[in-house]
Amino acid sequence: MTYLRRAVKYFIQITFLFAAVILVLMLTGMVSKDIAVAFRSGWTSVWWILAIFAVMSLAYPFFGYQKRKILISGDPAEARGGIEEAMRARGYVLASDADGVLKFHLSSPVNRLARLWEDTVTLTPVLGGWQAEGLSRDLVRVVSSIEHKFRDHGNE
């Protein structure tokens, strides 16, 4: 269900951006206001573009979200403070803590809107560290920030 929800959100976002760009081009006179003239095959082209957006939207959640392992030795309860500090430094706030599973989301409403409220990073304690799950482009920064925090802490 999460996968489908994300795909629908991305379809709406891509379609809205496309429509906004076309509207601006039409209002500035760069493109004809008649769809039959603006697009080579008129409305048929628009339907093909929407079909391509649908395929892209179905593919994006598959490639855009992932799980990564964070190597932190020791007790997960002891690591929690350092994890929260590293996440705060990245602009995240703790949304929930249920059974040791930490869920963070971005603190900025603008950044949350830009990601369509799909900005949650979930950290689950696993053998040998933690498992992080979330948006791929955010996970790279989050995981490296947390590992850096604990690497520095270990050298003190």
Quote the pTM value.
Answer: 0.70
Instruction: Indicate the average pLDDT of the chain.
Output: 86
| 9 CB-contact burial (10 Å; exposed 0-12 / middle 13-18 / buried 19+) | middle
Say how many CA atoms lie within 13 Å of 75 toward its Cβ.
Answer: 3
pLDDT > 90? residue 119: no
Which residues are within 8 A (CB) of 109 and not within 5 positions of it... i.e. 6 or more apart?
none
DSSP 96: E
Per the DSSP assignment, residues forming a β-bridge with 68 are 132
pLDDT value for 156: 47
Query: Residues 23-82: pLDDT tens digits?
Result: 999 999 898 888 888 888 888 999 999 999 999 999 988 888 888 998 887 777 788 888
pLDDT > 90? residue 11: yes
Which residues are within 8 A (CB) of 52 and not within 5 positions of it... i.e. 6 or more apart?
none
Query: Residues 83-95: pLDDT tens digits?
Result: 888 889 888 998 8
> What are the chain's domains?
2-63 (no CATH), 66-155 (3.30.310)
pLDDT value for 153: 52
Per the DSSP assignment, residues forming a β-bridge with 101 are 98
pLDDT value for 56: 92
